[in-house]
Amino acid sequence: MLLAIDCGNTNTVFSIWDGTRFLCTLRTSTHHARTADAYFTWYSTLVKHYGIEVDITDVIISSTVPRVVFNLRVFADRFFGCRPMVVGKPDCALPVDPRVDPGTNVGPDRLVNTAGAFDRHGGDLIVVDFGTATTFDVVASDGAYVGGVIAPGVNLSLEALHQAAAALPHVDVTKPERVIGTNTVACMQSGVFWGYVGLVNGISERIRDEYGAPMQVIGTGGLAPLFAQGGLLFDVIEDDLTMHGLTVIHAHNKMKG
């Protein structure tokens, strides 16, 4: 029984994998000062609420926030008696090593998305992940991560606009009825929604031209379904791509012993 943990800049997600399916997925805000005991109190309360009886034997962690990894390691050791795999560490092997500039540290979230996408869709992919940042990951024909693009995240852009311009309110991300806004909120919503549709389309097109081969575009992250309404941005939307990628990397390491 595997507990897969994905810690991002905004949210941390726990998913329990029984070898064939995810039994449940739990989400909390990321906080670097949260202790191992606090993680377990939150986790055990929700598992009990859902009526799930599990005996966790393995833990795998992907974290873009280095400061939380120590307490997550303690959490796994203290409450499940296991040493967790941590994506990006030397003792956690990847199915295919990334091919990037020497000395480059690729974010573990991007490595996990690459593994999950290749397992489900093969190679020659662009994975667009709507997180705190909007990232584009290029997956080669053999499953290697070979580079990508990092752009500001949707909510981050909205928050920056609200903070930098005193007259502009905070608005929710939604698809506006019209491109031309007739009030401030509608103008901002149109700029963010259609701006990011253009960003995804434009960057994906340039990646395809540079890559020189047909490529599928895989969308993931909480806002992917919303932006899919803006046109044919994605060939597939995967809501659990990161968690699936963690199970793929875990299985690869188990197979290698």
Mean pLDDT, the chain cut into blocks of 10 residues (257 residues total) = 93 94 93 93 93 92 94 96 94 95 93 97 96 94 97 87 78 89 91 93 96 95 86 89 96 89
Task: For residue 224, count CB atoms less than 10 angstroms from its CB and return exposed for 0-12, middle for 13-18, buried for 19 or more.
Answer: buried
What is the structure's pLDDT at 158? 83
What is the structure's pLDDT at 170? 81
pLDDT in tens, 134-162: 999 999 999 999 999 999 998 888 888 87
What is the structure's pLDDT at 96? 96
In the chain, the amino acid numbered 21 is R
Of the candidates 6, 58, 109, 129, the residue annotated as catalytic is 109
Return the ∠ at Cα 233 (arms to 61 and 28), rounded to 5°: 30
What is the structure's pLDDT at 234? 94
In this structure, the number of other CB atoms found within 10 A of the CB of residue 119 comes to: 18
What is the structure's pLDDT at 232? 77
What is the structure's pLDDT at 229? 83
pTM listed for this prediction = 0.91
In this structure, the number of other CB atoms found within 10 A of the CB of residue 54 comes to: 14
In the chain, the amino acid numbered 23 is L
What is the structure's pLDDT at 122? 95
* Alpha-carbon separation of residue 243 from 36, 92, 172, 249 (angstroms): 21, 16, 27, 10
Residue 58 and residue 250 in contact, taking contact as beta carbons nearer than 8 Å: yes
Return the ∠ at Cα 15 (arms to 9 and 20), rounded to 5°: 140
Task: For residue 210, count CB atoms less than 10 angstroms from its CB and return exposed for 0-12, middle for 13-18, buried for 19 or more.
Answer: exposed
**Residue 109 annotated among the catalytic residues of the structure:** yes
What is the structure's pLDDT at 37? 96
What is the structure's pLDDT at 162? 76
